[in-house]
Amino acid sequence: MHIKDWSIRITQREKPLRVHLIGVAGSGMSGLALLLLEMGHQVSGSDRVTSAETERLQGLGLRFSSPHTAEAVREADLVVFSSAIRPENPAFAEALARNIPLLRRAECLAAILNTKKGVVVSGTHGKTTTSSMTAHILREAGMRPSHYVGAEIPILGSNAHWEEAGEYMVAEGDESDGTLVLYEPVCSLVLNVEAEHLDHYRDIDHICEVFATLLDQTRGRIVYCKECPVATRLQSGRDHAVSYGWQDADYVAEDLRELRGSSAFRVMRGGELLGDIELGIPGRHNVLNALAAIAVADGVGANFALIARALSTFAGAKRRFETRYLSANYRIVDDYGHHPTELAATLQTARSLKPVRVVVLFQPHRYSRTQALADDFGRSLQAADEVFITDVYAASEKPIEGVSGVTLVEAMKRHGDIKVTSVPDLSIAHHQVGNALQPGDLLITLGAGNVHEAGTRIADDLKILEEMLRLVPEGDIEGKLYEPMRRHTTMLVGGPAQFWLEPHTFEAFAACVGYCRERGIAVRVVGRGSNLLVRDGGIRGAVIHPTGGVFSAVRVEGDTVIAGVGARLKKVASAAQSAGIGGFEWMEGIPGNVGGALRMNAGAMGVEMFDQVVSLTFLDEDGEIRTRQRDEITAEYRNVGELRRNFALEVVLSGTPDSKENIQRRWDESRAKRQKTQPIAASAGCMFKNRELIPAGKLVDEMGLKGCRVGHAEVSAIHGNFIVNTGGAKTADVLALVEQIRDKARAERGIEMEMEVKVIGEDDYTF
């Protein structure tokens, strides 16, 4: 049956069709489902997955099934399928076997469009924005248009709508597979024509053939962009063609003003002023899109005042320079752009908002496009300040050997010196991108795939982080997202902390803890990260690193030293020596901070931390700051139970008066012993607790395990109780080596070795 015959069948309301859509969860197919439902047909659909869109459509009458089955199509009068459907699909195969009529998505859309005065918006870029602008203008002008566009349009309410009483239907025409030739509209709009979708077309001439056929079949006005030489060439000799552009066109935009988040300009038609426009979205490319929509609306008789009012309220389409997060310090934007021209336009729009920096997370779309346009991408992305590139979103393509996201990283380096980083795994790309953000940045997630998910994660966490930073006066706390814990552990390993917070006052510390407890966000307090291993999956929740201000302060009063928990042990020992107070020499070679030493009851040279504690100030479980004397606190070997529930803030430590010379002598002896018996490579300190009968290091030595390796983690050849990072080790390497040691001790000596180093965090990335 010809498309014209289906146009007749589809409009016979007394004989509704049973229509089944294969691949109904896709944006294009879901729009068709909505049109058919609103036309009164009985619509069913199937897909591999359930989505929010299929759930919404079920509420409107769609009978949905997942996965695809042969049974789903058996009662259908017509089966419509998307371009992604393969012949082996069971629903498709059953329709063929039963001789049920099959239409491609575009054929079904053409059958519907051809029942109205169709307005087809075509071009390589900008179709969704321009078609939704046009539909919105005609609606505001009282023309009650139907529409079908390629994304969710908040101001239109949905990506498709059937209006029985209206004459016009605005539709986005997809050029990717040549189906533009199916339409016979009363108006065609050609935004631009470039070499694109070369997996389907031979070359630009082949693409032009398809556009030319569409224009040959257009029954009325043709609107084209004068700024595009190919589109201009295609209109040559056509009587009903009108142009738009910056100059020497039928419709011209003058006096362009780029405002923060919007644009203003004057519209000239044939050299005469039509009026002023304030467009509700930014960007020079969107001014051109608006001119195109104006030319269409003006051609069908829409009042210019109503056109201007409509454009002032137009807020854009989903994933078209869509702001996902906005604060005084950050803006996160998502955009569907996946072609070099689109990227250039999007980055120009971003610059018009005058951020301090433009940061891009780009997900290339299709291997063939990445390979063919690598140099163009490399040039376009130079307009950013920092770029992260994921691996390729394949869509339906098979990989091409040697083509990946790295292809574009290399292309960028050939064309400039903008900082660019490969982040192949999109599921964790947000960790590097989010950690790189600085106040004043505008982050754009770019691409036709699922890159927007990374922006959503960053936006969700950034909102929480900024809320915490606003709890206290500016300067009392600093924070970052996804801070790598390898920067904050002496072993130099560990995944990211979801929220990294550095309070400088007791009040800021208490405010962070209170915020997190009220919302069920886990809290960890970390000092310099000695005696600590963070798993490679990182730490979900907030990691508080008290530093600066009161936390780094050390002062001497009489024979005592008062230190904040962020102070380094070496700093405490130096302050004591300068004041002629002995007893602190054991701290000199320990790399940790006071807070960690208190939590672990750290020690050396026969001295433990709590041997010298006079009093301790801490934040309790109720959020109160309290001080306790030493005899009120129970401290055990490498464990202080009280500090599992409470957070130390400041401590008073006692010493004994002594000469600086004696202190220096003991200090030198301690340092010499450490240098002789302990490795200088990155480690977490002693890995295992010492046994009563045999020290852990001696046990490891006797079992012949010195020098054993897993990955880049190695048992030190100097001291058997140290595992060192030889460079680039993962926490998983360290823990695998720990288990080898424990297994051998258990099997050969019957000894259970207990870890002294604390292990925290997630094995896999969960945030």
Burial of 205 (C-beta count, 10 Å sphere; 0-12/13-18/19+): exposed
Two structure tokens written together for 36: 């058919």
Strand partners, 81: 22, 104
Tell me phi and psi for residue 441, to 5 degrees: -80, 150
Closest to 287 (Cα-Cα) out of 295, 663, 230: 295
Instruction: Cite the DSSP H helix spans in 678-727.
Output: 696-702
Long-range contacts of 15-18 (CB under 8 A, 24+ apart): 16/40, 16/41, 16/42, 17/41, 17/42, 17/77, 17/78, 18/42, 18/44, 18/75, 18/76, 18/77, 18/78
- Specify whether the CB–CB gap between 563 and 554 falls below 8 A: yes
128 catalytic residue (yes or no):
yes
Two structure tokens written together for 438: 């600085």
- Report the alpha-carbon distance of residue 220 to residue 218 in Å, rounded: 6
Buried b (16+ CB within 10 A) or exposed e, 319-355: bbbbbbbeeeebbbbbbbbbbbbbbbbbbebbbbbeb
- Report the alpha-carbon distance of residue 360 to residue 381 in Å, rounded: 8
Considering the candidates 172, 175, 196, 714, report the single residue annotated as catalytic.
172
- Report the alpha-carbon distance of residue 625 to residue 401 in Å, rounded: 61
User: How many residues are recorded in the chain?
Assistant: 767
**What is the DSSP code (8-state) at residue 471?**
T
In 228-380, where do the E strands start and end? 241-245, 251-259, 262-269, 272-279, 322-326, 331-335, 357-362
172 catalytic residue (yes or no):
yes
Strand partners, 7: none
Residue in the structure block whose two tokens are 């329709």:
95
Considering the candidates 124, 128, 346, 547, report the single residue annotated as catalytic.
128
232 catalytic residue (yes or no):
no
Considering the candidates 127, 480, 571, 730, report the single residue annotated as catalytic.
127
Catalytic residues: 127-128, 172
